[in-house]
Amino acid sequence: MTEKEKAALGMLYDANYDEDIKAERLECQDLCAEYNRLMPSEVEKRTELMKKILGKTEGEFVIEQPFLCDYGHNIEIGERCYLNYNCTILDGAKVTFGHDVFVAPNCSFYTAGHPFDVKQRNEGLEYAYPIHVGNNVWIGGNVTVVPGVTIGDGTVVAAGSVVTKDLPAGVLAAGNPCRVIRKLTEE
């Protein structure tokens, strides 16, 4: 079984020393560097290059510069998705953003984690669990989302939060660790 296949199954895999994994990551990093060097006014070139980086895009979207990710092919974004400045996505596993998602500046989405066992960690092993962000979600500035988290449709995550557990649909959530504050209502 390849290291990439292990990663897809949520198993420990060699993310640091496996030559195929390293090559994929370097290729994506080169594309991200190219993207980040484009002038902001080069909208068509930016969109074209981002479609080459990401695994799936739907309709119109905006990803501000700078943008960083590990592999790109594990990221899927829906229509009218907006990722603001300094978005970092460690996409060893799938990261999906629904339609009409707004992500404020300096947000990070980490599918990757490392074992507590020192020997395994020093061998370059890690795991990757998917992150799913539903439709109509607003994520405030400086939010970190850790491996395996799902954020439900219509939820708002307050600035500075660290999302360590799933959040249901239609709530305001905040804090470190992030917790549900209240349901969102029309009022």
Any idea which residues carry the catalytic annotation? 114
CA distances from 6 to 2, 19, 31 (A): 6, 15, 25
Q: Specify whether the backbone of 12 is left (phi greater than 0), alpha (psi in -120 to 50) or beta.
A: beta
Give the pair of three-digit tokens for residue 72.
């790109």
Say whether 102 sits in a helix, a strand or coil.
strand
For 103, the token pair is 């992500």
Tokens in use for 154?
């219509």
- For residues 136 and 186, what is the distance between their CA atoms, to the nearest angstrom? 15
**Using an 8 Å Cβ cutoff, are 65 and 49 in contact?**
no
Task: Find the helix packing angle between 19-37 and 43-53, rounded to 10°.
Answer: 170
